[in-house]
Amino acid sequence: MKMGRKAKPKSPEEMALVHHALENPARRNMIILMNQGKLSVSEIEAAVGPSMLDYHMHRLELAGLIEVREGRIVLTEAGVAYGSLVKVQKEKGGADKT
């Protein structure tokens, strides 16, 4: 799988964008699904529903976790790393279980 260019946040502002993106349960679920191989916008929509999908995708993209090209989602290195962390937290019960 081709990875995007952002490996990690380079500033406090970028870290704040990542935190904001991942503080939402729907976006945490989306990034977990993406890390499990659901890499089209239609697959994510089918899994999480259409409610505010564009907004949630935009927040993940602003945070440098994903890139969207022609309906396909490309996880950046940060998206893969944070997605794995979010999944572990959810499995341990540290994050919500949505």
- Please write the tens of the pLDDT for every residue from 17-72: 999 999 999 999 999 999 999 999 999 999 989 999 999 999 999 999 999 989 89
Question: Residue 6 falls within a domain, yes or no?
Answer: no
Domain of residue 27 covers 12-92
Question: Residue 5 falls within a domain, yes or no?
Answer: no
Question: Residue 64 falls within a domain, yes or no?
Answer: yes
Question: Residue 3 falls within a domain, yes or no?
Answer: no
Question: Residue 4 falls within a domain, yes or no?
Answer: no
Question: Residue 1 falls within a domain, yes or no?
Answer: no
pLDDT of residue 7: 53
Return the CATH number at 72: 1.10.10.10
DSSP H helices in 23-64: 25-35, 41-48, 53-62
pLDDT of residue 3: 47
How sure is the predictor about 9, in pLDDT bands with cuts at 50, 70 and 90?
A: low
Question: Residue 47 falls within a domain, yes or no?
Answer: yes
How sure is the predictor about 89, in pLDDT bands with cuts at 50, 70 and 90?
A: confident
Question: Residue 28 falls within a domain, yes or no?
Answer: yes
Instruction: Give the helix, strand, coil percentages of the chain, each rounded to 5.
Output: 55, 10, 35
Q: Considering its fold, how many domains does the chain have in total? A: 1
DSSP strand pairing (72-75 vs 66-69): antiparallel
